[in-house]
Chains A and B, each alone.
Chain A
Amino acid sequence: MGFLLPGFLIAGAVLAGVPLAIHLLNRRRYRVVDFAAMQFLMAAVRQNRRRLQLREWLLLAARIAAVALMGFALARPISCNSSGSGGIGGQAATLQVLVVDDTYSMGATGKNGSALGEMKKLLAGLIGKMRPGVDEVAIVRVARPVQISLAPTYDLQQALQQIEAITIRQTPGDLTGAIALATQIASGEKGVARRRMYVASDLTAGTWALAEAGRRDQLSQAVSAAAAACNAGIDIIGTTPLRSRHVALTELAVGEASGSAAGGWAGGRGMVTTNTPLAVEVTARAGAAGAAGAGGTGGTGGLSTKVEVDIEVDGKPLASGLATLKPAPDGRLTAEVPIGVLPPASGGGGHLITASLVGEDPLALDRSRSITVQIPDAVRVLVVEGDRGGDSRPSSGSFVSLALSPRAATTRPGRDPFRTESVADIALPSARLEEYGVVVLADVTPPDATTVARLDRFVRAGGLVVNLLGEHLAAAIGPAGKGRNAILSLVPGNVTQLVQAAGAGSSGDVTAGRLIDFSPTGNVHPLLGAFAGVQRTGLESTPVFKYWRVERTAAAGPGIAASLGEPVLNLLADKDGHKDPLLLAERRGNGAIITCTAPLGGEEWTTLQARPAFVPLVQELVRNALPDLSARWNILAGESVVLSRLERMVGTPTLIGPLPKTDRIEFESGPIDAASTQPTQEGGSAMTEQAGVRSAAVPVAGLYQLTGLGEARTVAVNLLAWPEADLRALEEPELRTLLAVGSPSSGGSSLRFHAATVPEVVGNGAATAGSGGRDWTMAALLFVIGLLAMESWLAQRPDL
């Protein structure tokens, strides 16, 4: 026996207690009458006691049964005829769990229309074969978050409606999670004799052939668990494979155009300004046509590598043309589309850049991406000098200033991406740090704690501090190494001593100092990625004579970042085996700190500033270390927009879109996550700017308007296109291999594959054919009417 609307059954069971409650209540509510003719009354009671009790119980039972049966009737009882649950028709009640692939690859269109449309028809046909009252249906959807679209029900009509209502979702798929959830449903459903699972999908490599081996193992384990839970097996229903090529735009970046950077080394995607010749780097992935094996994962599959790309800036077409996709070892195809310097009218600030692949393709959804970027006119750099120099002696920050804005001293001012300003360290407490993007501390006198705290806030809010340690740091450490100044909290490690380098040079010359451990063909730090493979930069031959030894220990003290990355540059190990860092980088809040253990301005410390690599080294460090504050305005479908606490205080943020729609996405306040709290000097923890508000997950890609922060911002929401865009269709042998199940002949019979066909619901040796179960609703209602009539008859005849 099953119920189409089990909620009424529960309601009936609950309400059945009402007549009993009324009965008991009435027994407590009576009036008291003094009576004289008690002898007649008592005689009447004695004579009729049994009759009255019987009548009372009959009435009560009739009322309770009527209410309970009404709930039973409204629950739409249908006999299951289950052999497993004592049915009478010889049919086994079966739970049919449908796992429906609703990832966006199902939107791919082939000869038979979209894969989703074809899948709906297949599933409608499947449900049409199910037996009312015998087959119980549940539906689970694959796209994240994995969700139960329909809890187990015998209402096949409702199941059909749910199937028809399915639309693709743009969040990544989680086939493993969906199968696990379906298994959980199958295991938890009692009262059914058989359990069967159907996985309806386009069987694309993007959904099934998971890139990581660990995830593949999890999928295999989930299928094994499902096979164990479903005694009637698992059916994998595939839609018709696509036979056309699909190229998806999977990444989009804006950077400096190749060959345009000063110094002549290969440009990167570092910081750009309105004066920077820009290029849009598009990354595409191609799902080769046909079944897997016909082409590889990614790559071009032997097809043309030319794609036509349209570029829009702030909604206006800026460039269009053919781009040549270059395959990378990891399967990505990248192409750089130069767009030049932004039009003067664009100005500095936030810009929206959209790239679209032009041409016919079976799946249009992932052919376009947008990105919001901050392109300033120039980044203002405040160089704070502890030594202002004099006469022929340069100041402590002069070389860095020159490296950041080398053209400032030439006849072509205004082309530098950095605009430097130098001040003495005594002016640091009064400087308006929020007006700068970078603060360079060039051997400054240790400032007071308040100033250090301001610097810390500056960094956490998204600024970059370049801290060049010099002789003034000795005052911070103290003569005997006792007492620590707050400035040390900006150093990602424990400053222990001033090292006079000697005897560490590759030549063994004591006066040569220690050399930088740099190899352009080795493991180059990401901040210096532009130096990878570039020979004769001079870095590897630069001696360092003096430096502050920084021991990078996690227990360095409060204020030290919990996660320290590898040093950007190390010095070669000395004779005692010390391998001290020369350059350190630390992410702190939204910003970063770069620490150089030796000042770059004094020749007694190092000769780095005289090397050809000096200018690009400084620029590359600063460009790549400058935080990309635009990142949080570029999210993926399914992610949230995170705002800082300070931003939250400006107003009530509202996310509207995807434009031109006006759907509103709400924000929820509170700490974002555990990492958003930072230790304080007092040893406690305090909310930082990271602790703020998070929007609900944005489910649909597109452009959104974020209002309520003083100025409107555009949030670009893109698809996580890869690997979902890999539309290569997998066939049964490959799927069996992936799922680690054998062929039917080798015992893998619990897994059945159906290529664009509807499997038989009845069969597989467990059930016998027959008509559906019987609907007992009318019978129950008639019984209720009979009970009510009996109750009324009894109530109207007290003498009975």
Chain B
Amino acid sequence: MATDVPETRRGVDGRVLARVGSLELRARRVMEGLLSGMHRSPYQGASIEFAQHRPYTVGDDIRHVDWKVMARRDKVYVKQYQVETNLQLQIAVDFSRSMRFSSIKGTDGQPWSKLDHAMVAAVALAYVSGMQSDSAGVWGLGLGAGPVQQLARLSAQPGHWRQVAEVLEATVAKQSDVATPSLAAGIEGLANTLARRSVVVILSDGFDDLAAVERALGHLRFRRHDVVLLQVMDPAELTFPFDRSTQFVGLETGDKVLVEPRDLKRAYLEQVAAFTGSLKRLLRGLGGDYSLLDTSGAVDVQLARLLAERMAAADGSRAGIGGGGA
């Protein structure tokens, strides 16, 4: 199967897509949708999968009365069914200049930046979404044209991921070095743009003012979107492996600082840990998901783990619902 899957120019590994495609992408929350699918919907009714029983109330359709239960217990219950609905997956990729940082090389020997990692993850998610007949759209954050820019419309076509890959590549090719809007502004723009409840997956390093990001994510959550922040980090950012005198030049601002990295490593790592911890707590507080994508790791493993965690969470949620019929 891996050989049947084409790769993106930037080295999207077909095996990644195959591995991720074997999993079910499930949203933890029940989404509205018109299409049948694998996702639970708050709208019980026209479906074949029994969800639970509940006592009959006036107005209920008597077609849903479970006559067998009434005969056994002498009480009227109606059957509820789990309605399968489709999921709208909005993938937001951060194109800010900080995402271009790379300290490692890909399988082709070329530098493997955080943006490369994020784009592969985005295509993989689009692919998985298409495989489940879920629609997926792609947005660009931090592009020069505005805080947020729609790169691919929602589509549930199985081949939609190819379009996603192409548009991402085209976007990277067109990207200029002009100053880019902040991440928070992009998330704000996305919150203002999306009309229907969606699962919003943000692929970004999250390097922005934490308070601003918190406000933007809160706005997104207020619009009842399911927010998943996949923070993409380079291993050099996570471990700070520099050992001799180095002048660091900021990719975003051009700031320069000459330091002895060994002297600052501990303090730096503490700063990074504090930031990621804050993000994690922020997402948890908002009911969203947070996951750290280390660009030195395999994208498939990272996405598989993410989806597995979400499935487990979804199963737990369903058990919590009652575990019995509708």
| Residues of chain A whose beta carbon lies under 8 Å from any beta carbon of chain B | 26-27, 29-45, 47-48, 52, 55-56, 798-799
Given known A-B contacts A52-B260, A798-B263, A41 and B248 have beta carbons under 8 A apart: yes
Per a CB cutoff under 8 Å, which of A29, A37, A798, A799 touches B272? Answer: A37
A35 x B266 contact (CB < 8 A): no
A27 x B264 contact (CB < 8 A): no
Per a CB cutoff under 8 Å, which of A26, A35, A42, A52 touches B245? Answer: A26
Given known A-B contacts A40-B271, A44-B268, A55-B263, A33 and B246 have beta carbons under 8 A apart: yes
A–B Cβ pairs within 8 angstroms, 23 of them: A31-B244, A33-B249, A35-B249, A36-B98, A36-B99, A36-B101, A36-B250, A41-B248, A41-B264, A41-B271, A42-B250, A44-B270, A44-B271, A45-B257, A47-B267, A48-B264, A52-B259, A52-B263, A798-B262, A798-B266, A799-B263, A799-B265, A799-B267
B207 x A30 contact (CB < 8 A): no
B245 x A36 contact (CB < 8 A): no
Complex interface: chain B residues within 8 A of A42 (CB): 250, 255, 257
Most central of A29, A44, A47 by chain B CB within 10 Å: A44
Q: How far is the CB of A49 from chain B (nearest CB, A)?
A: 10
A32 x B246 contact (CB < 8 A): yes
- Per-residue 0/1 for B267-298: is the Cβ within 8 Å of any A Cβ (1 yes, 0 no)? 11011100100000000000000000000000
- Per-residue 0/1 for B85-105: is the Cβ within 8 Å of any A Cβ (1 yes, 0 no)? 000000000000111110000
Given known A-B contacts A31-B247, A42-B255, A42-B257, A36 and B205 have beta carbons under 8 A apart: yes
B207 x A36 contact (CB < 8 A): yes
A35 x B101 contact (CB < 8 A): yes
Most central of A30, A41, A798 by chain B CB within 10 Å: A41
A52 to B100, CA, bound (A): 30
B268 x A40 contact (CB < 8 A): yes
A31 x B246 contact (CB < 8 A): yes
Per a CB cutoff under 8 Å, which of A29, A34, A37, A55 touches B237? Answer: A37
Q: How far is the CB of B249 from chain A (nearest CB, A)?
A: 5
Complex interface: chain B residues within 8 A of A56 (CB): 260
Complex interface: chain A residues within 8 A of B222 (CB): none
A34 x B249 contact (CB < 8 A): yes
Q: Is the C-beta of B35 less than 8 angstroms from some C-beta in chain A?
A: no
Q: How far is the CB of A21 from chain B (nearest CB, A)?
A: 16
Per a CB cutoff under 8 Å, which of A29, A37, A798 touches B207? Answer: A37
A38 x B252 contact (CB < 8 A): yes
Instruction: In the A-B complex, list the 7 residue pairs whose CB atoms are closest, starting with the nearest.
Output: A36-B101, A38-B250, A40-B271, A44-B267, A30-B245, A36-B98, A798-B262
Q: How far is the CB of B114 from chain A (nearest CB, A)?
A: 7
| Residues of chain B whose beta carbon lies under 8 Å from any beta carbon of chain A | 97-101, 114, 205, 207, 234, 237, 242, 244-253, 255, 257-260, 262-268, 270-272, 275
B260 x A35 contact (CB < 8 A): no
B258 x A30 contact (CB < 8 A): yes
Complex interface: chain B residues within 8 A of A34 (CB): 101, 248-249, 251
Complex interface: chain A residues within 8 A of B275 (CB): 40
Complex interface: chain B residues within 8 A of A41 (CB): 248, 257, 259, 264, 268, 271
B255 x A38 contact (CB < 8 A): yes
Complex interface: chain A residues within 8 A of B252 (CB): 36, 38
Q: Which residue of A lies closest to B271 (CB)?
A: A40
Q: A37-B101, A56-B260, A798-B266 are in contact. List 4 more A-B contacts (CB 8 A).
A: A35-B250, A36-B237, A37-B205, A41-B271
Per a CB cutoff under 8 Å, which of B248, B265, B271 touches A35? Answer: B248
Complex interface: chain A residues within 8 A of B259 (CB): 41, 45, 52
Complex interface: chain B residues within 8 A of A48 (CB): 263-264, 267
A505 to B311, CA, bound (A): 157
Complex interface: chain B residues within 8 A of A40 (CB): 268, 271-272, 275
B247 x A32 contact (CB < 8 A): yes
Complex interface: chain A residues within 8 A of B99 (CB): 36
Q: How far is the CB of B240 from chain A (nearest CB, A)?
A: 8
Q: Which residue of A lies closest to B251 (CB)?
A: A36
A798 to B269, CA, bound (A): 14
Complex interface: chain B residues within 8 A of A45 (CB): 257, 259, 264
A30 x B249 contact (CB < 8 A): no
Complex interface: chain B residues within 8 A of A33 (CB): 242, 246-249
Complex interface: chain A residues within 8 A of B248 (CB): 33-35, 38, 41
A31 x B263 contact (CB < 8 A): no
Most central of A32, A38, A48 by chain B CB within 10 Å: A38
Given known A-B contacts A30-B245, A36-B98, A52 and B251 have beta carbons under 8 A apart: no
Complex interface: chain B residues within 8 A of A31 (CB): 244-247
Given known A-B contacts A36-B98, A36-B207, A44-B267, A27 and B245 have beta carbons under 8 A apart: yes
A56 to B271, CA, bound (A): 22
A32 to B275, CA, bound (A): 25
Complex interface: chain A residues within 8 A of B267 (CB): 44, 47-48, 799
A36 to B236, CA, bound (A): 10
A45 to B99, CA, bound (A): 22
Complex interface: chain A residues within 8 A of B245 (CB): 26-27, 29-31
Complex interface: chain A residues within 8 A of B242 (CB): 33
Q: How far is the CB of A45 from chain B (nearest CB, A)?
A: 6
A38 to B248, CA, bound (A): 8
Q: How far is the CB of A54 from chain B (nearest CB, A)?
A: 11
Complex interface: chain A residues within 8 A of B100 (CB): 36
A45 to B272, CA, bound (A): 13
Q: How far is the CB of A32 from chain B (nearest CB, A)?
A: 5
A735 to B271, CA, bound (A): 90
A39 to B207, CA, bound (A): 8
Complex interface: chain B residues within 8 A of A37 (CB): 98, 101, 205, 207, 237, 268, 272
A52 to B114, CA, bound (A): 31
A29 to B244, CA, bound (A): 10
B253 x A38 contact (CB < 8 A): yes
Q: How far is the CB of B244 from chain A (nearest CB, A)?
A: 7
Q: Which residue of B lies closest to A799 (CB)?
A: B266
Given known A-B contacts A39-B207, A44-B264, A30 and B246 have beta carbons under 8 A apart: yes
Q: How far is the CB of A800 from chain B (nearest CB, A)?
A: 9
Complex interface: chain B residues within 8 A of A26 (CB): 245
Most central of A30, A37, A41 by chain B CB within 10 Å: A37
A38 to B263, CA, bound (A): 16
Q: Which residue of A lies closest to B263 (CB)?
A: A798
Q: Which residue of A lies closest to B274 (CB)?
A: A40
Complex interface: chain A residues within 8 A of B257 (CB): 38, 41-42, 45
A687 to B140, CA, bound (A): 99
Complex interface: chain A residues within 8 A of B268 (CB): 37, 40-41, 44
Q: How far is the CB of A794 from chain B (nearest CB, A)?
A: 10
A47 to B264, CA, bound (A): 10
Most central of B100, B101, B252, B264 by chain A CB within 10 Å: B264
A34 to B262, CA, bound (A): 17
A35 to B262, CA, bound (A): 16
Per a CB cutoff under 8 Å, which of B114, B260, B265 touches A36? Answer: B114
Q: Which residue of A lies closest to B99 (CB)?
A: A36
